[in-house]
Amino acid sequence: MMHSLLQRQIRKLMLSEDAVPVDLASWQAFLSAVDRTYGQFDQDRDLLELSLDLTSREMRQLYDEVERHNEQLETEVAARTAELEVANARDRQRMDELENIVQARTVEIRHAALHDKLTGLPNRSMFYDRLHHVIQRRQRIPDLHFAVLFIDFDRFKAINDSLGHAAGDKLLRTIAQRLHESLRASDTICSSKETGFLAARLGGDEFCILLEDLKDDADAIAVSDRLLEDLSRPYVLDERSVNSSASIGIARSNVGYKSAEDMIRDADIAMYRAKHLGRGRVVVFDQTMHGTVMRKIDIESDIKTAVERGQFYLVFQPIVSLVTGRAVALETLCRWEHPIYGDVSPEEFIPLAEELGIIDSIGNWVLDTAIAQFAEWQRTWCRDRLSFLTVNVSPAQLTGAELATRVAGLVSKHDLDPASLVLEITETTLTRNAEEALAAIQAVRARGVRVFLDDFGSGYSSLGILHEFPLDGIKLDRAFLESASSTRRVAACIHSVVTLTRTLRMALIAEGVESYEQVALLQSLGCDDGQGFLFSRPMRAEDVAAGLESIASESRLLDASSEVGPARPTGGVDLTRQPSSEAGVNRPRPIGISKDRPAIQYKC
C-alpha cells in the first residue's frame, strides 16, 4: 500500500499510480521526469510572471491614458459649459430685450387698434366700448347724466377736394386739437374730472364726444354751443384762411338707451337734421326724427332702380343774354320724382349716386335724353334761337376718353351738331384728378363739344385753373351775386373775371340772377349772359317753347345804347317786382333797367 503522502505528490505530478517507479532505475527516470516537469513549471511561471508584469504595465498605461482623457474631457466640458453659460446669459438678455420689444409693440398695437392714426384721438371701437360701459353704469345709477355729441364738419369735402388731401388731413388734425381744447375748457360741467369727456374720430370728418357725469342733461347744449363757436374760427391751410362750421347732433341719456349703437345712431340723426336745417347748428334728438332716417334709407335703396323705373325727368333753364334780353341757350337739370317722397333735389341724389357708384347710368340717361330732346327742338323750332344746350357731368363721368366717345356716339345717333352741346363740369372735377380731367376735356373738345366750368368761385380753386385747362367758358357761382350787392370787393372780383374771360376768349354766364339790381350790376360790369329765377325757373320740356317766347317778348324793353352798360331800359315795366317764389314755376320776368332807377355803378 502506497503511503498517502506519496500518493498526493504523485497526483500533483499528474502521474498515474501505475507510473510510480518501483525500482531505482525507474526512480531515476521518474525523478528526472519530475525535474523536467518542475523545470517546465518554472519556465511557465516565469513566463506567466513576465506576462502579468507586462499586462499590469499596459493596464497602468491605459489607466493613465484614460485619466488623461478624462482630464482633457473635463477641461473641455468646463470650457464648453462656460461658453454655454455666456451664450445662455446672452440669450437671456436677448429674450429680455425681445420681451420688452413685444411688450412695447403690444402697447403700440393696442393703442393703434383703439386710436385714430391721423388725429391720435380714440377711434370708433374705443368710443363704443366706453359708451357701452357708461350705459351699463347708468342701469345701476339711474341719476347718471351723460350725452353723445355727433359732430360733422360742414365743408370738409369741398375743402378736401379743392385744396387736396394734405390740407384735408391738416384740417382734421386742427379740428381734433380744437375739440380737445374746447372740451378741456368746458370740463367744469362734469361732476367727475377723471371721467369728464371722450372725444373720438369715427371716420372722415365725423367726430363723436361722450360727455360723462353731467350735472344736468341741458349742459350738453352748452358744451355744443361752445364747440360750434370754437370750430367756426377760420383755419389756416396752405397759407389760406378757410372758413367753415360744424353741425352737432345730441343724444341724451334721459332717453334710457340700452345700447351704444342706438345712442350714436340717434345723435347721428340729430346731426343730419342740424345739417338739413342750415348747418352750423346744434340739434337735440327727439323720436320724430326717425322718419328722416327712414327717408334716407329709402332714397339710398330706391335710387339704384330709379333709371329703369323711369323716375327721372329733365328740366331746362334758359341762359339769357343780358344785352338782348333773349334766351340764348338752355341748361339741362335732372329731377327725380320719388314715388313716396316726391321731388328729390339733385343736390341730394347726385352726390349719393356718385357715392354708390351709379352716377354713370344716371349721367348716360341724362346725356341721351337731353341730346335727343335738343336735336328734336333744333329740327322743329329752335335752330335760330338757341345756340347751345348745356348738360352737367359729374367728376366720376370724366374719366379718360370714355366720355368723349359716348358723347360723340350720342351726338351722331341723334344727329345733333356737336358745336351746340356744352358739358358743364365743376371745379372739384378739375382738382380731384387733374390729369384725368385734362385728358377727358381734351378728348371731348376734340369731338367739337365745348366744356364750361360750372359754379366758378364756389370752391378754393385758383384762377390758374383757367389757363391750365382748355375751357370754353365759365359759369360764375351764384354766391357771387348773393353777396355782390353788399360788397364792392365782390363786384371788383366779377369785373376781373369778366376781363379775364374776355382776354381768354371764354364765355361767361352769371348764375343765380334773381333781381333787377343784379342785372344792372352785371351789365355795368360787362357780363353778357345770365341765368336765374328772375328770367325763368327750370321748366319741363313741354313748357320750354312757351317759356322762351315769354322771355323774348320782353326783350324789346332793352336798348343797346345804354350809358351805363350795354343795355338800358326804355319802357314802363314794373321793375320793382321780385321773381315769383313758387317753386318750379315757369314765369319769365321782364328784363331791363328802369328809367327811374339807373343801373347801379360800382367803382372797381
Instruction: Give the residues lining the site for ligand C2E (CB under 6 A).
Output: 317, 333-334, 345-347, 350, 366, 392-394, 424, 454-455, 478, 511-514, 531-533, 538
Give least dist CB 533 to ligand C2E, A: 4
C-beta of 23 vs 347, nearer to Mg ion:
347
As a whole number of angstroms, the distance between CA 604 and CA 602 comes to 6
C-beta of 30 vs 349, nearer to ligand C2E:
349
Give least dist CB 221 to ligand C2E, A: 32
C-beta of 224 vs 586, nearer to ligand C2E:
586
The torsion defined by the Cα of 64, 65, 66 and 67, in degrees rounded to 10, comes to 50
Residues 11-70 that bind Mg ion (CB under 5 A): none
- Class of residue 523 by CB neighbours under 10 A (exposed 0-12, middle 13-18, buried 19+): buried
Give least dist CB 311 to Mg ion, A: 21
As a whole number of angstroms, the distance between CA 121 and CA 202 comes to 9
- Say which residue the cell 375739440 belongs to: 179
Phi, psi of 598 (to 5 degrees): -65, 155
Query: Which part of the chain contacts Mg ion (CB under 5 A), choosing from 82-90, 229-237, 423-431, 537-545?
Result: 423-431
C-beta of 160 vs 390, nearer to ligand C2E:
390
- Give the one entry of ligand C2E, Mg ion, none that residue 532 binds, where binding means its C-beta sits below a cut-off of 5 to 8 angstroms depending on kind: ligand C2E
C-beta of 352 vs 492, nearer to ligand C2E:
352
Give first-to-last CA distance, the chain, whole Å. 172
- Class of residue 491 by CB neighbours under 10 A (exposed 0-12, middle 13-18, buried 19+): buried
Give least dist CB 477 to Mg ion, A: 6
Which of 551, 600, 590, 524 is CA-nearest to residue 319? 551
Give least dist CB 310 to Mg ion, A: 23
As a whole number of angstroms, the distance between CA 342 and CA 298 comes to 12
Give least dist CB 141 to Mg ion, A: 55
- Give the one entry of Mg ion, ligand C2E, none that residue 345 binds, where binding means its C-beta sits below a cut-off of 5 to 8 angstroms depending on kind: ligand C2E
Which of 540, 570, 576 is CA-nearest to residue 555? 570
What character string, x for contact with Mg ion (CB under 5 A) and - otherwise, covers 349-388? ----------------------------------------
Give me the sign of the Cα torsion angle 470, 473, 478, 484: positive
In the set 116, 152, 427, 455, which binds Mg ion (CB under 5 A)? 455
As a whole number of angstroms, the distance between CA 582 and CA 585 comes to 6
C-beta of 127 vs 377, nearer to ligand C2E:
377
Give least dist CB 538 to ligand C2E, A: 5
C-beta of 515 vs 524, nearer to ligand C2E:
515
Give least dist CB 156 to ligand C2E, A: 19
Which of 268, 270, 298 is CA-nearest to residue 284? 270
C-beta of 392 vs 550, nearer to Mg ion:
392
- Give the one entry of Mg ion, ligand C2E, none that residue 283 binds, where binding means its C-beta sits below a cut-off of 5 to 8 angstroms depending on kind: none
Alpha-carbon distances, residue 249 vs 125, 425, 564 (angstroms)? 20, 33, 51
As a whole number of angstroms, the distance between CA 595 and CA 604 comes to 24
Rg (CA), the chain: 50
Alpha-carbon distances, residue 54 vs 42, 47, 59, 89 (angstroms)? 18, 10, 8, 51
Binding residues for Mg ion, how many (CB under 5 A)? 5
C-beta of 517 vs 559, nearer to ligand C2E:
517
As a whole number of angstroms, the distance between CA 601 and CA 311 comes to 47
Give least dist CB 546 to ligand C2E, A: 19
Q: Could you say which DSSP state residue 395 is in?
A: G
- Give the one entry of Mg ion, ligand C2E, none that residue 350 binds, where binding means its C-beta sits below a cut-off of 5 to 8 angstroms depending on kind: ligand C2E
Give least dist CB 290 to ligand C2E, A: 27
Query: Which part of the chain contacts Mg ion (CB under 5 A), choosing from 70-78, 390-398, 402-410, 512-520?
Result: 390-398
Query: Residue 118, Cα to own-chain centre: how many angstroms?
Result: 12
What character string, x for contact with Mg ion (CB under 5 A) and - otherwise, covers 510-539? -x----------------------------
C-beta of 146 vs 349, nearer to ligand C2E:
349
C-beta of 223 vs 393, nearer to ligand C2E:
393
- Give the one entry of ligand C2E, Mg ion, none that residue 271 binds, where binding means its C-beta sits below a cut-off of 5 to 8 angstroms depending on kind: none
- Give the one entry of Mg ion, ligand C2E, none that residue 599 binds, where binding means its C-beta sits below a cut-off of 5 to 8 angstroms depending on kind: none
C-beta of 427 vs 511, nearer to ligand C2E:
511
- Give the one entry of Mg ion, ligand C2E, none that residue 200 binds, where binding means its C-beta sits below a cut-off of 5 to 8 angstroms depending on kind: none
Q: Could you say which DSSP state residue 122 is in?
A: B
Give least dist CB 319 to Mg ion, A: 10
As a whole number of angstroms, the distance between CA 336 and CA 344 comes to 5
Alpha-carbon distances, residue 173 vs 126, 167, 244 (angstroms)? 19, 10, 15
Which of 360, 419, 363 is CA-nearest to residue 389? 419
- Give the one entry of Mg ion, ligand C2E, none that residue 347 binds, where binding means its C-beta sits below a cut-off of 5 to 8 angstroms depending on kind: ligand C2E
SS3 content of the chain, % helix, strand, coil (to 5): 55, 15, 30
Q: Could you say which DSSP state residue 556 is in?
A: G
Give least dist CB 353 to ligand C2E, A: 8
- The number of residues in the chain equals 604
454 near Mg ion, rule: CB under 5 A: yes
Which of 292, 303, 404 is CA-nearest to residue 346? 303
Helices (H), 115-190: 124-140, 156-163, 165-185
Cα atoms in the Cβ-side hemisphere of radius 13 Å centred on 148 = 34
C-beta of 227 vs 299, nearer to ligand C2E:
299
User: Which residues have C-beta within 8 Å of that of residue 468, sequence separation ≥ 6?
Assistant: 430, 434, 438
Give least dist CB 445 to ligand C2E, A: 19
**Binding footprint of Mg ion on the chain (CB under 5 A):** 392, 424, 454-455, 511
